[in-house]
Every structure is written in C-alpha cells, then in structure tokens.
Amino acid sequence: MAERNLIGGTWAGGSGGETFTSFVPATGETLDTFPRSTAADVDRAVAAAKDAFGDWRLVPAPERGAILFRFAELLRAHKPELTDLMTREMGKVKAEAGGDVQEAIDMSLFMAGEGRRLHGQTTPSELRDKFNMSIRQPIGVVGAITPWNFPIAIPSWKLAPALVCGNTVVLKAAEDTPKLAERFVELLAEAGLPDGVVNLVQGFGEEAGDALVRHPDVRVISFTGSRETGVAVAKAAAETLTHVHLELGGKNAILVCDDADLDLAVDGIVWSAFGTTGQRCTAASRVIVDRAVYGELQKRLVARVEALRLGPGWEDGVDVGPLINAAAVEKVDGYTRIGIDEGAKLLTGGERVSGEGGCFYRPTVFADVEASMRIAQEEIFGPTTALIPVDGFDEAVAAANGVRFGLSSSIFTRDVNRAFRAMRDLEAGITYVNAGTTGAEVHLPFGGTKDTGNGHREAGSAALDVFTEWKSIYVDYSGRLQRAQIDNVDS
Ligand code: UN1
C-alpha cells in the first residue's frame, strides 16, 4: 500500500486497503496510485492536527509567516517541475500551469507578510482608566477541501491564511489531482512546519470529505466546488456548528457594449471562456452583446476560436488542453445537445475531438441564446460560451444579473458612466472593466454573491475572517468596580 497520506508528520497508507488512480487527461495514461482514505484515516489526521494545535497556536505569527516565506521560495525553486506535473495530471497548458504555481507563490508571500500584521483594533473605553482592544485568534483544526482546477493555487488560498493565523489543517484534495496535492504538502513540510500542523488525506468526497466535514473536532471547513456539494457540506457541518466557508459556482458574463473596442473584447472573451478549457469558476460562459455589434463580434470571435490549437498542455504552442476526465466530456457534450434542443445556434465546436486518446472537446460557441435557456443558466465548467443579444446597457445588466450565481463579471465599454454603473450594479463579487472575467490577484478579496458562496471571501486580508475569531479584551486599571452602561451615564 502506497504511503501517501501525511498524518502527524509520517507518511502512511490508508487503513481501508483500497486505492484509486490518477490519470493523464491528455492521453488516458495512468499516473500514480493513492490510498482511498476512510473515516478512520480522517479521524487519525484530525487527531494529529488537534494535537499539533496546542503548540502551533503559540508560535509567534511572524515565525509562522517565515515558514510561508520559505514555502514560497521552495515553490519558486520547484516551479518548472510542478508546472510540468500540472500539465500532465490536471491538463492545463504550460503558461497557465506556471500561473497556477505563481498564484500559490504570491499567496504564500502575501500571507507570510500577514504574520507581521494580523491587525486587531484598539479603541477607547467609555470608562476612565480602562483599555479596550480586539485581537484575532486561531480557531483550531481546519478542514480544507480543494478542487482539481487550481491544484496548487487553491490549496495555497486556504492553507496559507489558515496556517499564518495559527490553525492546523487537514487537507482533502481532489481525487483527480492527488499527486500535485502530495507535492504541495511535501514542500510545506520541507519549509519547516512542525509535524501534524498540516496533514493530507487522499481520497473521495463521499468518504474522506464527508468524514472531515462531520468530524466534531474540525472547527472550520473551507470548501471550493459545486453548488450542490456546497449545500451538502453546509448541511452536514450544521450538526456540529462548524464554521463553513464555501466557494461555489459561477455563470460569469462579459458585457460587450455598442461602443466597445471589439478586438479587445474578443481577446477577453477567448481568454476567459477557453483558457483552462473553460474549467475555472471565473470562466466567461456568457457573453451579453449589444445588437449593434452582435454580427461583427460573432464573426471576429468565431475566426479566433477556430484558430485555437488543442493538444496536451506540455507541448509548445497549445492554447487549449483537455477536460479533466471522461465524465466532464460527457457533461459538456450533454450541454451541447441541450443548447441545440433549446433552439440556440451552434456557431462552432460542439463535438469531441476524434483521433485523440484524451479528453478533448472543441471550443464551442452558441449564438442567439436566450437568457433563460439552460446553457445560459447552469454552470457547464467546460469550453462552451453562450452569446446573448440585447438592446442597450440596461437590458445587458438585467441579463447579467438574471442567474443564481454571482462570482465574476466584466464589461467592455469606453463610456465611463456605463463602467461605473456596471461596477455598482453587476451582482457579482468581482467586476472587470475592459478585461475578461478571469485573472484575480491574490491580495484582493475573491468570492461571489448569491449562490456562489455563503458570504465569505478568500484571498487578501478578507481571508483572515474565515480563519480567525475575534476576541475583545477589556483591561480595567482603575482599581475599582466600574460598570459599563451604568456608572458613566446620568441616571
Ligand atoms: C477558480 O476558478 O476556482 O481569477 C479560481 C482567476 C484565477 C482563479 C480562479 N486567478 O481566474
């Protein structure tokens, strides 16, 4: 049995004896075998994390940050290797895989710096000779459940803030990218984390993930994935009143106004809709276009999309890699059928790539999509985008907001008034002006409104709110009993 769970500083096999395999989506080849962990494995990992919390919470935050600085250095030193592995295990193209690792470097550096901030507040007391302050405190064991689409970046979004704040972690990474999760944790350990501060349990959501969410000693769950699973996580965690941070789906729209720079808009659409093969929660799966430029935009967009080169991510000159697995190809193809049945016009794509061993699907553009159609409402998580024609700015904003999700949004316009209205009125956690829907930077809050989450944010200092609890402290140095709300108020 492969010893690939990290528990209390020791690499261990799974207790159930079952294994699962990681594949190369571009070829279908087998990459490696991992333990399919059980609730018993999760139990051991949580116990190790709980045990390690006692000391880790007392390590000065700047020292915890220093370990993250070292982790960032190690990520940088291993960037070529991790990038190459990511093109194989996850499938994204080289430039984007490098970007994924870079995002983890950036996040680790940002959160390392938090070790010397982690600001609380001091504030006057209403009473004399009394001092008031609030401080952030770690919460305890954090369960991090991460997706395969950003297999190095997203674990860093969760683990770097959790750790610098003084929590310990059990990571259950996606079963499609276990090797990358293993390398991530190996490098963290190498950076100098004490045993048990980070633990890794490989396996599936139904067993390992579920056990982690329900474990009474896990105080915070941070989950990125589908809306459906997010709801299940929230329900399961309710029983133990575990804090839950959810980062769920998107149905992100790009608005193209009649005054837009169309070539720039096409650049933004191609990059946001087909980068990472559309497998980003920030992907532009809707393009809402003013009828004045609708025909011209279609023409320019289709020409660009048909020129995109598909292939394995590790090859030079490839624009679009494979989907993550065969089930994803089925899902994306199913939505092509749904779009056609709904009466949308298939402009290009809409089929598997034959003659390849891997999970390739042609970049797909639908036109004449109505805002209420399923392909304009549901998250497809693949290389499919829907063009929705509208008359004017107000109709565009209404269409953009007419979905359950609210992660990212974008507007192409040269009109500053429209740009500011869009910043105010688009119901999303992120709005880009004259850029596509992807490309969030680590020092700003990341997350969405409506069904995209449950009100929390990752990244930036906002992430600290997920991984700390406030403590308010009152120090009375008057030497006598002073009663707030009473002694300082006349009658
Ligand atoms: C995701 O798809 O889950 O803004 C995260 C972006 C990336 C992160 C995407 N920096 O597209």
Predicted pLDDT of residue 145? 98
Q: How confident is the model at residue 312 (pLDDT cuts 50, 70, 90)?
A: very high
Contact 361, 329 (CB under 8 A): yes
Backbone φ, ψ for residue 376 (5° rounding): -100, 0
Can you spell out the DSSP letters for 393-438? Answer: HHHHHHHHHSSSEESEEEEE-S-HHHHHHHHHHS-SSEEEESS-S-
Reported as half-sphere exposure (CB side, CA atoms, 13 A), residue 286 has a value of 34
Among residues of the chain, what percentage have pLDDT more than 90? Answer: 97
> Does residue 31 carry a pLDDT above 90?
yes
Residue of 254, 446, 458 to test ligand 1 pocket, by largest number of atoms within 8 Å of CB = 446
Residues with CB under 6 A from ligand 1: 103, 149-150, 280-282, 438-440
Ligand 1 centroid to Cα of residue 439, in Å, is 6
Query: Residue whose CA is closest, atom 11 of ligand 1?
Result: 438
> Does residue 161 carry a pLDDT above 60?
yes
pLDDT digits (tens, 9 = 90+) for 217-234: 999 999 999 999 999 999
**257 among known catalytic residues:** no
What domains appear along the chain, each with residue ranges and CATH number? 5-248+453-473 (3.40.605.10), 252-433 (3.40.309.10)
Of the candidates 165, 257, 281, 359, the residue annotated as catalytic is 281
Residue 124, token pair as written in the block: 């006057």
Predicted pLDDT of residue 96? 98
Dist CA 415 CA 397 (whole Å): 15
Dist CA 230 CA 249 (whole Å): 9
- Backbone region of residue 203 per phi and psi (left: phi > 0; alpha: psi in -120 to 50; beta: other values): left
Dist CA 286 CA 306 (whole Å): 18
Of the candidates 89, 114, 247, 379, the residue annotated as catalytic is 247
Q: How confident is the model at residue 354 (pLDDT cuts 50, 70, 90)?
A: confident
Predicted pLDDT of residue 213? 98
Return the C-alpha torsion angle 96, 20, 195, 85, nearest 10.
-20
Dist CA 188 CA 170 (whole Å): 13
Q: How confident is the model at residue 355 (pLDDT cuts 50, 70, 90)?
A: low
Angle 380-454-208 from CA coordinates, rounded to 5°? 70
Atom of ligand 1 nearest to the CA of 439: 4
pLDDT digits (tens, 9 = 90+) for 416-457: 999 999 999 999 999 999 999 999 999 999 999 999 999 999
> Does residue 357 carry a pLDDT above 90?
no
Contact 84, 315 (CB under 8 A): no
pLDDT digits (tens, 9 = 90+) for 372-425: 999 999 999 999 999 999 999 999 999 999 999 999 999 999 999 999 999 999
Predicted pLDDT of residue 3? 87
**165 among known catalytic residues:** no
CA end-to-end distance (rounded Å), the chain: 75
pLDDT digits (tens, 9 = 90+) for 186-198: 999 999 999 999 9
